[in-house]
Amino acid sequence: MKLINSGAEAKIYSEMLFGTEIVVKERRAKPYRIAQLDSELREARTKSEARILYEVGVAGVNAPRLLGLGKFKIYSTRIEGKLLIDDGVGKIGFSKIGEQLARMHNANVAHGDFTPANIMKSGKEYFIIDFGLSEITASVEEKAIDLLLLKRSVEPGQYREFAKGYARISKDPKTVIARLEEIEKRGRYQVRTLA
Amino acid sequence: MLVIGIESSAHTFGVGICDDGKVIANEKMMFNISDKGLIPGKVAETHVKNAPKTVEIALKAAGIKIGDIEGVGYTRGPGLGPCLQVGELTAKSIAKRLGVKIAQVNHGAAHVEIARSAAKMKDPLALYVSGGNSQILKSSEKPFRHYEIIGETFDIGVGNMIDNFARAAKLNPAWGSTVAKMAQGGKYVRLPYTVKGMDFAFTGLLTSAIKMLDKASKEDVCYSIQETAFSMLCEATERALLLTKSRELCVCGGVAQSSRLREMLGMVAKENSARFGFASNEFNADNGGMIAFLAERMLKAGMDSNISECGVEQRYRIDRARIA
């Protein structure tokens, strides 16, 4: 196994399977978390991610395909390319990214960590990776949070293109974007909301 | 430049004096919380009684007279309205009487800036954790120097969450350090863990922890609520470190006084080759020193306000606060 990336949550290795290169994602132990909480989280997230990878594949989203599942490990196909966070991208790319997210939301999967660290450019296509915090949900709130996370991590012009692409494919863009605006307006200094 | 800073956003009435970037006095008087929590009107009443005395003690500690003061700063917000107004009034009266300039300071920005200075950091990623606020911050120069919020709580601040729990568990005083003490020797019980990217939410954890008090020992629930909440903060912070590629991490605000949280964040920083730092506890608790510190820099940069524009803003978000 060859280490190809070491992220916040997992180590990514490449491995050969019948002559084809595949990816193994292993959730690493976090030294700051107590062992019990840590292994519970890692196991639950690994299972959930595998299920979601499968669902996303069925929905035809550009994402790695699920090959197998271990206790803290997921086996999937390998995407060749560069992460958005490492590689500058023009505005045109962002509308394609919006389309991919919309396709995923149409299948009722919310990503949960939709930032440039989890978007990959491969050839002319964009792939969504790392479904570690994703959820199978119809919740408009969760979908809007995906948009919010991306909006916070990119330039305003890039976000506008992204939103155009999203609106093109999404089954219900208006509701999601309206919720996004509502979330942004929400005050968070709730000094005494709970007594 | 000798600047006096007034802080009164919550239960603390603080007066600090800063001289050329050095805090030479940092005095405070506090509303006694015990098991009741904060009742804004009552806290403000206590502040009114304490204000003149606290100013007097601070001047004495700095070894100066009121006439030596060359500038004034106070907390514009965020905080409890009635409490903020006491500080505003105190600051305005001093500025008017002495005919000196006045700066309106954002409470959170002051926490971050004093921590950044204490830790000798250039441009750190900051985790700001207090009663009402829990935010992951990074500075930005556009369109002016300010802190951008890259992650924050979707509902309540981590400090309020722990204080609310402490009241429900009938701990006295009902705040974080009592929970931390009770947590010693506790065992882990499962509680909800909610992180969304670089954001997090605490109300689900609070509700479940209160319910859990019927099923598990107080020690166990205290231990678990603390471990769960801090792990959530660490996970979001680690993700932000990775995204920003920052090589410096600091923690500030009231909850930054927790030695367990510091220990955990230290590990997060180490894993990501970042340097970790924080200010001493007197600056993590609410205090006037940090207000004086940031006010001095703002005044020197010409960011003073007319007395007539001075006011308070309960929800003065840090990303709207211009800093020097």
pLDDT in tens, B1-26: 999 999 999 999 999 999 999 999 99
Q: Do B290 and B247 fall into the same domain?
A: no
Strand, helix or coil for residue B108: helix
Q: Do B214 and B239 fall into the same domain?
A: yes
The DSSP secondary structure of B239-253, one letter per residue, reads HHHHHHT-SEEEEES
Q: Does B45 touch chain A (CB under 8 A)?
A: no
Q: Which residues pair with A136 in a beta bridge?
A: A109
Residue A159 has pLDDT above 60, yes or no: yes
Q: CB of B148 within 8 A of CB of B321?
A: no
Q: Do B239 and B155 fall into the same domain?
A: yes
Mean pLDDT for the stretch of residues B258-284: 97
Mean pLDDT for the stretch of residues A142-167: 93
- Burial string for B212-250 (b: 16+ CB within 10 Å, else e) reads bbeebebebbbbbbbbbbbbbbbbbbbbbbbbbebbbbb
pLDDT in tens, B126-184: 999 999 899 999 999 988 999 999 999 989 999 999 999 999 999 999 899 999 999 99
Mean pLDDT for the stretch of residues A31-59: 95
pTM of the model: 0.85
Quick one: pLDDT at residue A193?
30
Residue A151 has pLDDT above 80, yes or no: yes
d(CA B65, CA A44): 63
Best CA proximity match to B227, nearest among B260, B197, B252, B200 = B260
Q: Does B42 touch chain A (CB under 8 A)?
A: no
Which is higher by pLDDT, A17 or A98?
A: A98
Residue A189 has pLDDT above 60, yes or no: no
Q: pLDDT-based confidence at A89, cuts 50/70/90?
A: low
Q: Does B108 touch chain A (CB under 8 A)?
A: no
B197 → closest Cβ in A7, A37, A115: A115
Listed by number, the residues of chain A in 42-101 with a beta carbon closer than 8 Å to a beta carbon of chain B are 85
Quick one: pLDDT at residue A152?
86
d(CA A79, CA A118): 12
Strand, helix or coil for residue A82: strand
* Cα radius of gyration rounded to whole Å, chain B: 19
Q: Do B193 and B240 fall into the same domain?
A: yes
Number of domains in chain B: 2
Query: Domain ranges in chain A?
Result: 2-77, 82-185
Listed by number, the residues of chain B in 202-261 with a beta carbon closer than 8 Å to a beta carbon of chain A are 203, 206, 227-228, 231, 234-235, 238-239, 241-243
Q: CB of B194 within 8 A of CB of B201?
A: yes
Asked if the structure places residue B133 within a domain, the reply is yes
Cis ω on the peptide bond leading into residue B192 (within 30° of 0)?
A: no
The first and second tokens of residue B228, run together, are 């769960």
Least-confidence region, from A174-183, B50-59, B210-219: A174-183
Neighbour count for residue B313 (Cβ, 10 Å): 18
Mean pLDDT for the stretch of residues B308-313: 96
Q: CB of B58 within 8 A of CB of B16?
A: yes
**Where in B145-274 does DSSP place strands (E)?**
146-152, 195-196, 199-200, 248-252
Residue A188 has pLDDT above 80, yes or no: no
Q: Does A149 touch chain B (CB under 8 A)?
A: yes
Cis ω on the peptide bond leading into residue B143 (within 30° of 0)?
A: yes
The DSSP secondary structure of B114-159, one letter per residue, reads HHHHHTT-SS-EEEEE-SS-EEEEEEE-SSSSEEEEEEEBSSS-HH
**Where in B156-236 does DSSP place strands (E)?**
195-196, 199-200
Quick one: pLDDT at residue B317?
92
3.30.200.20, 2.60.40.3500, 3.40.710.10, 3.30.465.10: which CATH number matches A2-77? 3.30.200.20
What is the value of ipTM here, to two decimals? 0.85
Q: Do B220 and B94 fall into the same domain?
A: no
Q: Do B262 and B160 fall into the same domain?
A: yes
B239 to chain A: which residues are within 8 Å by CB?
Answer: 8, 113, 117
Which is higher by pLDDT, A132 or B141?
A: B141
Q: CB of B112 within 8 A of CB of B249?
A: no
The first and second tokens of residue B155, run together, are 């509902």
Q: Please, what is the average pLDDT of chain A?
A: 89
d(CA A86, CA B272): 17
Backbone dihedral angles phi then psi of residue B6, each to the nearest 5 degrees? -115, 125
Mean pLDDT for the stretch of residues A55-64: 96
Quick one: pLDDT at residue B190?
97
Q: pLDDT-based confidence at A194, cuts 50/70/90?
A: very low
pLDDT in tens, B278-307: 999 999 999 999 999 999 999 999 999 999
Cis ω on the peptide bond leading into residue B52 (within 30° of 0)?
A: no
pLDDT in tens, B58-89: 999 999 999 999 999 999 999 999 999 999 99
d(CA B195, CA A112): 9
d(CA B226, CA B211): 16
pLDDT in tens, B21-63: 999 999 999 998 766 678 888 999 999 999 999 999 999 999 9
Asked if the structure places residue B235 within a domain, the reply is yes
DSSP B322: -
**What's B104's domain CATH number?**
3.30.420.40
Asked if the structure places residue B117 within a domain, the reply is no
Neighbour count for residue A182 (Cβ, 10 Å): 12
B152 to chain A: which residues are within 8 Å by CB?
Answer: 188
Which residues have C-beta within 8 Å of that of residue A54, sequence separation ≥ 6?
A66
**β-strand B12-19 against B2-7: which pairing, if any?**
antiparallel
CATH of domain A82-185: 1.10.510.10
d(CA B43, CA B81): 11
Residue A191 has pLDDT above 60, yes or no: no
Quick one: pLDDT at residue A88?
67
Q: Where does chain A have alpha helices with state H?
A: 35-58, 91-106, 140-153, 156-169, 173-185
Percent pLDDT > 70 in chain B is 99
Which residues have C-beta within 8 Å of that of residue B11, sequence separation ≥ 6?
B30, B31, B33, B38, B43, B83, B286
Which is higher by pLDDT, A61 or A83?
A: A61
Asked if the structure places residue B118 within a domain, the reply is no
Which chain A residue's Cα is nearest to B231?
Answer: A33
Which chain B residue's Cα is nearest to A118?
Answer: B243
Which chain A residue's Cα is nearest to B78?
Answer: A189
Q: pLDDT-based confidence at A91, cuts 50/70/90?
A: low
Range of the domain at B179: 123-278
Which chain A residue's Cα is nearest to B239?
Answer: A8
Q: Do B128 and B196 fall into the same domain?
A: yes
CA distance, residue B263 to nearest chain A CA (Å): 8
DSSP B320: G
Which is higher by pLDDT, B206 or A10?
A: B206
